[in-house]
Structure 1
Amino acid sequence: MIDPVRDLVSVHKATERLLGAAAGLDDAACAEPSRLPGWSRGHVLAHLSRNADALVNILEGRPMYVSAEAREADIERDAPRPLGVQLADVRKTTARFQAAGAVPADWSRTVELRNGVTDAAARIPFRRLIEVELHHVDLGIGYELEDLSEEFTGREIAFLAQRFSGRADVPPTRIVADSGEWRTGGEDGAPVTVSGAAPALLGWLAGRRDGADLDTAGALLPPLPPL
């Protein structure tokens, strides 16, 4: 069951954790490459700020972004900023997101994200939690997928499995971890079983790891489209 109020609390805690860790950087380290190809740590922090603004837009009934081009341009514009400015922006925009989430609203309503994707409003806080937690890992400052809570990891695996479910370009796949089992991909053919530790499975599904440490019983690891 989705609990947006509980997820908003988790967003606050995750953001504080990220800000505390990132405060140990300096301007030079902020400009260094992150783990995301082509993005510096400044790009990651700028994206987190602009994503918070975008999710406020959704909660308040506006388009998530003016356009895909504007989204990219805003991140590029803000990426070179000094560390202190970056962290202040993340804190300010997250507070704005939290305030928008605290306004009494119909959480069961359907909202539209970018690229025509729709979802229940109640899942928006969890979507923000995903952004904060995975991008904390992407900063490459000592926070790893293995540091994520078991609950979050399981929910995110389920979320990504659902995202790829029914896609003809993803072979039918059975995902197995000690903590659970999920199905994803298309319907044509026998499913490939991919098993391993939950953080490793999450890393593969989220495009953060190549899946080399996963077991497929000799089958090819199913290719996944980019997120």
Structure 2
Amino acid sequence: MIDHARDLRSVDEATERLLAAAAGLDNVTVAEPSRLPGWSRGHVLAHLSRNADAIGNVLAGLPMYASAEARDADIERDAHRTLAVQLADVRESAARFRERAALPADWSRTVTLRNGVTDTAARIPFRRWVEIELHHVDLGIGYELDDLSAEFTEREIGFLRERFSADPAVAGVTGPPAVLLGWLSGRGDGAGLTVPGGGALPALPPL
């Protein structure tokens, strides 16, 4: 059973870890490339801020983003700010999300995310937790997939397997949890994973 209140606490803890780690950057290193193609660390931090507001929109019954173009434009607009401004935005947007999540609500209701994707409101805090943890890794500042908690890794692997359930071959792939999570999330080539019967790893659709 999903415990949204517990996941919200995990979101808070993950946010504080990310902020503490990112505080070790400076105005030069925040502008350097992240591990995500075409994005600097500033892009990653800007995305996390705008995603917090977008997730809050979802809980409020509003469109997650005005449009795909507006989402991309907002990230590009905010990506080149100073480190101090970036960190303040991450913290303040996280607080806005937490305030929205604290309002009385029916957590069993269905909500709509990007591209018409629907989910229960109770799983939205976990989705936010995923954004923070995986993008912390993407910053490339010493936080790795192996550093993620066993609970988080297991749950995200299950979430992604469910997402890729149209291909039954994905469910049979096994290996070290961090490697499996890296492959499923597009953050690793899957070297060291095992496919039933041998052969190549199945191709994953875009996330």
Question: Out of 198, 201, 204, which is 1:221 matched to?
Answer: 201
Letter in 2 for 1:148: L
Higher helix share: 2
Query: Whose relative contact order is higher, 1 or 2, with alpha carbons under 8 Å and at least 6 apart?
Result: 2
Instruction: Give the CA deviation at 1:19.
Output: 0.2
Question: Quick one: distance in 2 between partners of 1:173 and 1:34?
Answer: 31
Question: Out of 168, 190, 207, which is 1:211 matched to?
Answer: 190
Question: Quick one: distance in 1 between partners of 2:120 and 2:102?
Answer: 16
Question: Quick one: distance in 2 between partners of 1:145 and 1:129?
Answer: 14
Instruction: Give the CA deviation at 1:165.
Output: 1.1
Instruction: Give the CA deviation at 1:69.
Output: 0.2
Instruction: Give the CA deviation at 1:218.
Output: 2.8
Structure 1, residues 107-159: CA drift from partner, whole Å, max 9, x if none? 00000001010000000100000000000000000000000000000000000
Q: Which residue in 2 is equivalent to 1:34?
A: 34
Question: Out of 176, 181, 206, which is 1:202 matched to?
Answer: 181
Where do 1:96-135 residues align within 5 Å? 96-135=96-135
Where do 1:1-227 residues align within 5 Å? 1-166=1-166, 170=167, 172-173=168-169, 183=171, 193-216=172-195, 218-227=198-207
State, as a whole percentage, how many aligned pairs show the same letter.
71
Letter in 2 for 1:145: L
SS class of match (1:195): coil
SS class of match (1:111): strand
Question: Quick one: distance in 1 between partners of 2:155 and 2:206?
Answer: 19
Flag structure 1 segments of 5+ consecutive residues without an equivalent.
Answer: 175-182, 184-192
Question: Quick one: distance in 2 between partners of 1:56 and 1:218?
Answer: 44
Per the normalisation by structure 2, the TM-score is 0.97
Instruction: Give the CA deviation at 1:61.
Output: 1.2
Superposed CA RMSD in Å reads 0.9
Per the normalisation by structure 1, the TM-score is 0.89
Question: Quick one: distance in 2 between partners of 1:209 and 1:194?
Answer: 14
Letter in 1 for 2:169: T
Instruction: Give the CA deviation at 1:173.
Output: 1.9
Instruction: Give the CA deviation at 1:195.
Output: 1.6
SS class of match (2:173): strand
Instruction: Give the CA deviation at 1:213.
Output: 2.2
The answer to whether the 8 A contact 2:179-2:191 is kept is: no
Question: Quick one: distance in 1 between partners of 2:116 and 2:152?
Answer: 26
Instruction: Give the CA deviation at 1:219.
Output: 1.0
Letter in 2 for 1:15: T
The answer to whether the 8 A contact 2:36-2:138 is kept is: yes
Instruction: Give the CA deviation at 1:215.
Output: 2.1
SS class of match (2:141): coil
Q: How many residues are matched?
A: 206
Question: Quick one: distance in 1 between partners of 2:73 and 2:150?
Answer: 35
Higher alpha-carbon deviation: 1-10 or 215-224 = 215-224
SS class of match (1:119): strand
Letter in 2 for 1:128: R
